[in-house]
Amino acid sequence: MGMQAALLHMVYPPQCVACDAMVASDFGLCGACWRETPFVTGLVCDQCGTPLPGQDPGHAVHCDDCLAIARPWSRGRSAMLYRDKARSLVLQLKHADRQDLARPAGGWLMRAAQPILRPGMLIAPVPLHWLRLLRRRYNQSALLSAQVARLSGLDHCPDLLQRQRNTQTQEGRSRDGRFANLADSIRVHPRRSARVEGRHVLLIDDVMTSGATLAASAEACLAMGAAEISVLVLCRVAKEC
């Protein structure tokens, strides 16, 4: 720690990113918040990161959803489950202007991503429609992808993908409805098509529910010649088990 940072810490001791408890280092959770945050550990679905029961069998395993739905990507991981403290952190990142949360989230994403990171990957966020971008002023997924790019040293293209039309909200739709609502709604930015050709793209989003948005993003990259797609999300909405 530099002298300036040390002095700053004497005046402003680091606080937990989820409450105001004091913590040992910047950008961390206190013990109590850590215990309330459902980080994904153990055996997971190799395509979406959902936790699965049992021990690691030494080969890739998949959850029921990924067996039932054709996923246009090869591998995927999730840092947390979308409930309790993780849910409130994501909602604050999205709606409460807590852009500072992207930094600790980047560390959590990196840890979850270790098994699927490959040299030469191109990192890109799932896009927000420009109307929503105007309202919210930032794309939370792009904040996350920037952190993962910074920590991994991989190439980052924050505007690789764009929304074609303002899709209706996904909330309240059935799974089939969600996929239909998003088909062809995302495309590779016309000026970025050269960047995607032949690349293994790592798509980053804040929350994966049905996987429809990630699927539309992956299809758009593949249509422009991407070699392979992997996905990484901060939170996976998992069925209660």
| Interaction between residue 235 and Zn ion (CB under 5 A) | no
How many angstroms separate the CA atoms of 140 and 106, rounded?
Answer: 12
Minimum distance from CB of 9 to Zn ion (Å)?
17
Q: Which is nearer to Zn ion, 69 or 223 (CB)?
A: 69
Of 16 and 121, nearer to Zn ion (C-beta) is 16
The type of residue at 76 is: G
State yes or no: residue 203 binds Zn ion (CB under 5 A): no
- How far apart CA 96 and CA 234 sit, in angstroms, is 17
Cα dihedral sign, 140-145-146-152: positive
Of 157 and 238, nearer to Zn ion (C-beta) is: 238
**Closer of 48 and 161 to Zn ion (Cβ):** 48
Helix (H, G, I), strand (E, B) or coil at 63: coil
Nearest C-alpha neighbor of 220 from the set 125, 144, 106: 125
| Helix, strand, coil percentages, rounded to 5, for the chain | 40, 15, 45
Q: Among the candidate windows 27-35, 115-123, 167-175, 227-235, which touches Zn ion by CB under 5 A?
A: 27-35
- Minimal distance, residue 31 CB to Zn ion, in Å: 8
Cα 115 off chain centre by: 15
> 33 vs 113, which CB is nearer to Zn ion?
33
> In the complex, what is the shortest distance from the CB of residue 67 to Zn ion, in angstroms, rounded to a whole number?
8
* Dist CA 159 CA 153 (whole Å): 18
Residue type, 70: A
By beta-carbon proximity to Zn ion, the closer residue of 76 and 158 is 76
- What the block records as the tokens of 201 is 């793209």
- Smallest gap from residue 57 Cβ to Zn ion (A): 15
- For position 101 contacting Zn ion by CB under 5 A, the verdict is no
Of 48 and 124, CB closest to Zn ion: 48
| 19: contact with Zn ion by CB under 5 A | yes
Give 236's strand partners.
Answer: 81, 208
Residue 21, interface with Zn ion (CB under 5 A)?
Answer: yes
Among the residue ranges 13-21, 84-92, 134-142, 172-180, the one whose residues contact Zn ion (CB under 5 A): 13-21
Site for Zn ion in 32-71 (CB under 5 A): 33, 45, 47-48, 50, 63, 66
Q: Measured from the CB of residue 81, what is the shortest distance to Zn ion in angstroms?
A: 13
- Tell how strand 186-188 and strand 161-163 pair up: antiparallel
CB 203 within 8 A of CB 124: yes
Count of residues that interact with Zn ion, criterion CB under 5 A: 12
Contact 142, 219 (CB under 8 A): no
Binding interface with Zn ion (CB under 5 A): 16, 18-19, 21, 30, 33, 45, 47-48, 50, 63, 66
